[in-house]
Structure 1
Amino acid sequence: MPSTHATAVAQLGKWNFNVHTFAGLTQGRCLLGTGLHYGPELLLEAGFDPLSRTLRGFLETIESLYQDVPYHNAAHAADVVNSTMYFLAQDRKVSLTPLEAVPRLAAFMAAIIHDVGHMGRGNRFHVASHDPIVVMYNDQSPLESMHCAIGFMVIQQPHSALLCPRSSGREDISLSTSSLRDGGAGCTIF
C-alpha cells in the first residue's frame, strides 16, 4: 500500500490534489513543495537557469510573505499553482496552439505570487478605509498591484533571481523577461 506522502505527491498535477494533505506532509511548506516540483522544468523550457538555490530562495521568500489569514494564504497559493499547472497540461494536450514556454512560466509565477502579502480583506475595504496600500498603488486594484510589486521586489534579490539566462549569448532574454512581467501581471490582476 502506498504511503500517504507518495499518494500526495502523486496527486500533484491532478485535479483531485488535496492541498491540505500536502500541507501536512510538508510541515506547512506546500508552496515550496509545489514550486520545486514544477519550477525547474518551466525555467529550463523558457531559457532560464533552473538553479535550485534561486528557485528555492524565491519560493521560500514568497511563502514567508504570505500572511496567516483564512483563504489568502500560502496553502491557497500552492493549490492555485497546482490548478494552473493542471490547466497548462490540458492546454498542451488539446490545443492546436498550446502556450509557449515563457507564457507558461508567467502563469506559474503569477499563481505563486497572486495573493502574496494579502491581509485577508478585499479591495473595497482597503479603498473605503483609505488604507496606505491604496495610496501606494491605486484605488482600482490595490491588492493585485501590491502582489505584483512584492513578487518583482523578491525576484530582484540575488538569492531569488529566477530570471537569469542559461547563457549570456541569448539575445531574446530581455524580451522574455518583459513578456514574463507583462504576462505575470496580467494573470495576477485578472
Structure 2
Amino acid sequence: LYHCPCDNYLEDNKKLTPRRDVPSYPKYHLSKETVEALRLPTFDAWQWEPNEMLSCLEHMYHDLGLVKEFNINPITLKRWLLCIHDNYKNNPFHNFRHCFCVTQMMYSMICLCSLQVTISGFDLVKSGKNNITYINARTELAVRYNDISPLENHHCAVAFQIFSQPDCNIFSNFDPEAFKLIRQGAITLILATDMARHGEILDSFKQKVDKFDYADEEHVTCLKMVLIKCCDISNEVRPMEVAEPWVDCLLEEYFMQSDREKTEGLPVAPFMDREKVTKPTAQIGFIKFVLIPMFETVMKLFPQIEEAMVQPLRESRDRYEELKQIDDAMNEKKKSESLTMGGKKNSVFCQCMARFLTGTNTICVSAPVSVEHQSGALRRKVNWSCQPHQSFPSLTSSC
C-alpha cells in the first residue's frame, strides 16, 4: 500500500503540517448574494478557491454566534482553519473541498431547521483509503485502534493535536470540564461518520424519532450523529451539475484503492472495482437504500427539509434510473447485434463447409475463417477467404 501520513500515528505536533502565518490568509469580502447562497444546500463549492472557502467558513462561525458565545479569539479561529486546511491531503474526494461541503451543508441545515450544532475538520489527513483496506492490510493504524474505525479514530487524534497547539486552540477559554464535554462530543460525531456503523445509528434514531425528547441527552446525541452523517454523504442533495463531479471524484478514489488492493492481493469490494461499477449502478442503490431512508427519517422531525433536501434526492434517484435504463438498452442492442453477426458468420461457414465436403466447385461468399481437417497422416489447411468460382479438391483427392 502506498505510504500516507495516516499509516503512522502522529506522535507529536511537529509531524502536523505547520500553520501558515495569518497574513497569508486574506480576508475575502463576501457579497450579499454569497452570504445568502451559503445558507442553501444548493451552494456550489466548485466555484471557490481554498482561501475563499476559508473566508466562507469563518463567516459561518461568526454568523452562528459561536465566536461571541464561546469567546473565541478571531485570530485563533483563522489559524485553526488554516491548520485544518493545510493538514488535508490532495485526494480526489476526501480533501479540503469535501470538508468545506460537509460543514456548509451542516450550516444550511442549522439555518433551515433552526439548529445550533456544527462540526468541521472531521476527517483530517484522510488518505483516500477506507477502513477495510487498513484492516485487511493489518496496518499500524488498524492495529493501534483494534480494527475499530481506525480512520475516524485517527481523525479525532489529529484534530485534538491541533487543539493542543495554543495558537490554534479555539477552545482555550473553556474550563476543563467544558472542554471535556466538547472533546467527547466531537469524538462521538466523528466516529459516527464510519459507514460500518450506518445501520446501527439509523436504527437507533428511528426508535427515538416518533417520541423524540429534546430534554433527553441520549436522544439529542443520536440526532447530532444522524445529522453529521447526512451532511457527510449529502452531495446528491445538491443540483446535478454540482453533485455529479463528486461522483466522478469518489469513483476515481475507489478505483485507485481497488487497483492497489488487486496489486497487493487484498480483497476488493465490488462497489470499488472499476470492472464492475458504472456511475448509475453505483448511485441508484446508495440513494435508494442509504440516503433517502435516512433523510426521510430526519424529515419526520424537520418537515422543512423535504423540499430542499429529500425531493432532490428522489429526483437524483429517478435520473440515475433513467440513465441505467438507457445503458441497459444500449448494452442489449450491442448484445443483439453481436449475436446477429455471429449467426451470419456461422451460416456462411456452414455453407462453405457443405460445398467443400460435397466437392462443389463454386462458392458464393468468402469468409475469413481457417479450417483444418485430418486425412490420414496428412493435415490440410484450407483458407476460406476465397473468390467465387474457385475450385476446391474433395476429401478423397490426394495432395
Short-chain TM bin: 0.7 to 0.9
Structure 1 residue 17 and structure 2 residue 11: aligned? Answer: no
1:182 aligns to what? 184
Compute the displacement of 1:31 (Å).
Answer: 4.8
Pairs aligned (count): 160
Letter aligned with residue 37 of structure 2: Q
1:122 aligns to what? 130
User: Contact 2:88–2:126 at 8 Å: present in 1 too?
Assistant: yes
Distance change >3 Å, CA 31–CA 62, structure 1 → 2: farther
* 1:134-177 CA-partner distances (Å, limit 9, x unpaired): 12333110000011111000011011010022xxxx8xx33321
1:44 aligns to what? 68
Q: Give me the whole-angstrom Cα distance separating, in 1, the residues matched to 2:100 and 2:152.
A: 18
Within the candidate set 146, 154, 161, 2:162 is matched to: 154
Query: What secondary structure, in the 3-state scheme, does the structure 2 residue paired with 1:117 have?
Result: coil
User: Contact 1:49–1:164 at 8 Å: present in 2 too?
Assistant: no
Give the % identical residues.
23
Q: Give me the whole-angstrom Cα distance separating, in 1, the residues matched to 2:52 and 2:170.
A: 19
- Report 1:100-111 matches (<5 A): 104=117, 107-108=118-119
Q: Give me the whole-angstrom Cα distance separating, in 2, the residues matched to 1:132 and 1:9.
A: 43
Query: What secondary structure, in the 3-state scheme, does the structure 2 residue paired with 1:138 have?
Result: coil
* 1:95-119 CA-partner distances (Å, limit 9, x unpaired): xxx55xxxx2xx32xxx22111100
Query: What secondary structure, in the 3-state scheme, does the structure 1 residue paired with 2:38 have?
Result: coil
Query: What secondary structure, in the 3-state scheme, does the structure 2 residue paired with 1:120 have?
Result: coil
Query: What secondary structure, in the 3-state scheme, does the structure 1 residue paired with 2:48 have?
Result: helix
Distance change >3 Å, CA 30–CA 137, structure 1 → 2: farther
Compute the displacement of 1:178 (Å).
Answer: 1.7
Give the unaligned 5+ runs of structure 1.
93-97
Distance change >3 Å, CA 147–CA 87, structure 1 → 2: same
Compute the displacement of 1:87 (Å).
Answer: 1.3
User: Contact 2:67–2:74 at 8 Å: present in 1 too?
Assistant: no
- Report 1:31-110 matches (<5 A): 31-40=53-62, 41-45=65-69, 48-92=70-114, 99=116, 104=117, 107-108=118-119
Comparing 118-127 and 178-187, the one that deviates more: 178-187
Within the candidate set 149, 153, 168, 1:141 is matched to: 149
Q: Give me the whole-angstrom Cα distance separating, in 1, the residues matched to 2:71 and 2:146.
A: 34
Letter aligned with residue 154 of structure 2: M
Distance change >3 Å, CA 182–CA 22, structure 1 → 2: same
Distance change >3 Å, CA 30–CA 77, structure 1 → 2: farther
User: Contact 2:41–2:108 at 8 Å: present in 1 too?
Assistant: yes
Q: Give me the whole-angstrom Cα distance separating, in 2, the residues matched to 1:113 and 1:50.
A: 17
Q: TM-score, normalised by structure 2?
A: 0.38
Q: Give me the whole-angstrom Cα distance separating, in 2, the residues matched to 1:140 and 1:147.
A: 13
